[in-house]
Amino acid sequence: MNGYSADEIMTVTAARALRNGMTCFVGIDLPSAAANLARATHAPNLVLIYESGTIGAKPGSLPLSIGDAILAETADAVVSVPEIFNYWLQPGRIDVGFLGAAQIDKFANINTTVIGADYAEPKVRLPGAGGAPEIAACCREVIVIARQSRRKFVERVDFITSVGFGDGPGSREYLGLTGAGPQRVITDLGVLQPDPESCELVLTAVYPGVSSAEVGERTGWDLRVAADLREVAPPSQAELAVLRDLLATMPAGE
Amino acid sequence: MAAIVSLSEAISATVHDGDTLAMEGFTHLIPSAAAREVIRQRRRDLTLVRMTPDVIYDQMIGAGCARKLVFSWGGNPGVGSLHRFRDAVEHSWPRPLQIEEHSHAGMANRYVAGASGLPFAVLRGYNGTGLSDRAPSTRANIAEIVCPFTGERLAAVAALRPDVTVIHAQQADRAGNVQYWGITGVQKEAVLAAARSVVTVEEIVDKLEPRPGAVLLPAWAVGYVALAPGGAHPSYALGYSIRDNDFYVAWDAISRDRETFERWLNNHVYGGVAEA
């Protein structure tokens, strides 16, 4: 309809948030596509770090898993799993970390553990924490990528796997979390960012053709809209061409 | 010194019913052939430990080997859910599965503590998460501590000390010294934390040639070495094989219902066919 898909504008929006020379902790799927798109366009010196221990990976094709051989073969250094978390992530050496979410709440807390109020008898068992809690705690900032729905964007997550802003202002400091926490939530409708005072996620940008009312309808809390709501520039032909080339290289997966 | 034996001898000598068994390999060098051997020997009531219980633990859980799972991320990487794991947690099939879950950093540090001969390790994390206050089995192994020097509030995680750890490596020499390279994961810590260990290898060579970034485990730190070429499939061994991405995708369909899974088990594990 617009000449690009929701996944494409999400990926392009995430890529634009990355600056040349940044260090970036990358997950698989959309974050990996976004980081590699940034590296192939405006941020050639972006340092890609995968939790498998590959630092400075320069894959020519998109990996299906965080442990694909191409990441190890093109990395500046390959370190052990204890080392990637203890020496590289924990001290705050990494500028930006990407996280996904099965649920996210208005204080940007993230659930990837269980759906349902009872941990012992979950409605849905999700994969669990992985590297996310420490990425959320220790990266200088976090970018969350999640498709927007009332079931996913909830008032309060069923389980806090990774802390965003906890109960609100002061929580991160109280808990001793060193990074700034989620600074952008990139969805298939636009971008939410934390209000500097209340820490509550606020709609700050929408994609072309999306109204703030539509975003509100797909949010499970009373979503506030920023006074200076922006419209995200659509993906350029150049961005789309590079992204599609990258995706065409990815091994078959879901 | 490491004993060089067959895979079936190595597993029967080390893995007993009720043991705590760690099988490590972080996306690379996953000891898949050894996992199938554990299933084939019909071990029961195991506490399975693994940071990323992917396809191999899905198979072992579905085959009824496990009583408990200690892990940090349970999914089919790049594909989706682990259906046998979910069936066990959500419907107790084929038997109830207790779970104890951590973060990757928490698990890695638990192995570091075990390898170091310390009762716990310290990290910055867990504070404010449901893992530290809502998950009873997890909470038993993490605690908030205050730094005696700075007063900072940090997380202590209890050491992991498996009865046995099994890993896969590229090479051993004839004395049983082991070398692996590429993504090296947490295998060194898992072996050194365990009371017993098995290393399956792609190849046994006369002399180990130094490789950049390689981990070398001296023979006296390893229990058993067993030759298992292709033993990491569907993961890979850098320099020997490539990741079989199609298998991970195919596993989604195989594991989705109980009947197709049991057919796979009969054909590819109990039937003794030596492939995935």
Average model confidence (pLDDT) across chain A: 94
**8 Å CB contact between B184 and A78:** yes
Residue A252 scores a pLDDT above 60: no
Q: Is residue B186 within 8 angstroms of chain A, CB to CB?
A: yes
Residue B275 scores a pLDDT above 80: no
Task: From A152, A254, A134, A103, select the one nearest B81 (Cα to Cα).
Answer: A254
Per-residue model confidence as pLDDT tens digits over B81-115: 999 999 999 899 999 999 999 999 999 999 999 99
Cβ contact B112–A82 (<8 Å): yes
- Predicted confidence at residue A1, as pLDDT, reads 54
Cβ contact B28–A160 (<8 Å): no
- Predicted confidence at residue A109, as pLDDT, reads 98
Instruction: Catalytic residue, from A8, A51, A134, A239: name it.
Output: A51
Fold exhibited by the domain A6-248:
Glutaconate Coenzyme A-transferase (3.40.1080)
Helix axes of A6-16 and A237-248: crossing angle, nearest 10 degrees = 110
Average pLDDT over residues B210-235: 97
Return the residue of B nearest to A117 by Cα. B134
Name every chain A residue with its beta carbon within 8 A of the beta carbon of B79: 253-254
Q: Please list the residues that pair with B99 across neighbouring strands.
A: B69
Per-residue model confidence as pLDDT tens digits over B9-53: 999 999 999 999 999 999 999 999 999 999 999 999 999 999 999
Per-residue model confidence as pLDDT tens digits over A160-184: 999 999 999 999 999 999 999 999 9
Q: Is residue B251 within 8 angstroms of chain A, CB to CB?
A: no
> pTM of the predicted model, to two decimals?
0.95
Average pLDDT over residues B228-235: 97
Per-residue model confidence as pLDDT tens digits over A26-37: 977 788 999 999
Q: Is residue B152 within 8 angstroms of chain A, CB to CB?
A: yes
Return the residue of A nearest to B102 by Cα. A129
Token digits of residue B264 = 């796979």
- Count interface pairs A-B at CB distance under 8 A: 188
Residue A215 scores a pLDDT above 90: yes
Other CB atoms within 10 A of residue B158 CB: 17
Task: Give the closest-approach CA distance of B227 to chain A in angstroms.
Answer: 22
Name every chain A residue with its beta carbon within 8 A of the beta carbon of B69: none
DSSP string, B117-157: T-SEEEES--TTSHHHHT-HHHHTTEEEEE-TTT--EEEEE
Q: In the structure, what pLDDT confidence band is assigned to residue B273 with cuts at 50, 70 and 90?
A: low
Return the residue of B nearest to A67 by Cα. B27
- Predicted confidence at residue B77, as pLDDT, reads 86
> Under the phi-then-psi rule, with left for phi > 0, alpha for psi from -120 to 50, and beta for the rest, what region is B125?
left
Name every chain B residue with its beta carbon within 8 A of the beta carbon of A71: 183
Distances (CA, A) of A194 to A132, A204, A248, B162: 19, 9, 35, 43
Average pLDDT over residues B204-226: 97
Per-residue model confidence as pLDDT tens digits over A189-211: 999 999 999 999 999 999 999 99
Distances (CA, A) of A98 to A133, A193, B128, B147, B210: 12, 15, 19, 29, 36
Q: In the structure, what pLDDT confidence band is assigned to residue A60 with cuts at 50, 70 and 90?
A: confident
Per-residue model confidence as pLDDT tens digits over A116-144: 999 988 899 899 999 999 999 999 999 99
Q: Which 3 state secondary structure label does DSSP give A135?
A: helix
Q: Name the B residues in 68-107 with CB < 8 Å from any A CB.
A: 71-75, 77-82, 85-86, 89-90, 101-105
Q: Please list the residues that pair with B104 across neighbouring strands.
A: none
Cβ contact A137–B124 (<8 Å): yes
User: Which candidate from A67, A119, A251 shows the least CB-CB separation from B183?
Assistant: A67
Contacts of residue A95, defined as CB under 8 A and 6 or more positions apart, other chains included, come to A22, A23, A24, A139, A140, A141
CA–CA separation, A120 and A174 (whole Å):
28
Average pLDDT over residues B49-67: 97
Q: In the structure, what pLDDT confidence band is assigned to residue B276 with cuts at 50, 70 and 90?
A: very low
Q: In the structure, what pLDDT confidence band is assigned to residue A61 with cuts at 50, 70 and 90?
A: confident
Name every chain B residue with its beta carbon within 8 A of the beta carbon of A79: 184
Name every chain A residue with its beta carbon within 8 A of the beta carbon of B27: 52, 65-68
Cβ contact A64–B248 (<8 Å): yes
Q: Name the B residues in 36-55 with CB < 8 Å from any A CB.
A: 51-52
- Predicted confidence at residue A249, as pLDDT, reads 81
Name every chain A residue with its beta carbon within 8 A of the beta carbon of B72: 128-130
Fold exhibited by the domain B3-102+161-257:
Glutaconate Coenzyme A-transferase (3.40.1080)
Active-site residue, A51 included: yes
CA–CA separation, B167 and B24 (whole Å):
6
Residue type, A36: N
Q: Which of A28, A62, A85, A142 to mutate to test the interface with B (most CBs of B within 10 A)?
A: A85
CA–CA separation, B257 and A220 (whole Å):
33
Return the residue of B nearest to A118 by Cα. B134
Per-residue model confidence as pLDDT tens digits over B117-137: 999 999 998 999 999 888 889
Cβ contact B105–A90 (<8 Å): yes
What share of chain A in percent tops pLDDT 70?
98
Domain ranges of chain B: 3-102+161-257, 120-158
Per-residue model confidence as pLDDT tens digits over A102-113: 999 999 999 999
Cβ contact B27–A163 (<8 Å): no
Cβ contact A52–B183 (<8 Å): yes
Q: Is residue B207 within 8 angstroms of chain A, CB to CB?
A: no
Q: Which 3 state secondary structure label does DSSP give A141?
A: strand
- Predicted confidence at residue B272, as pLDDT, reads 52
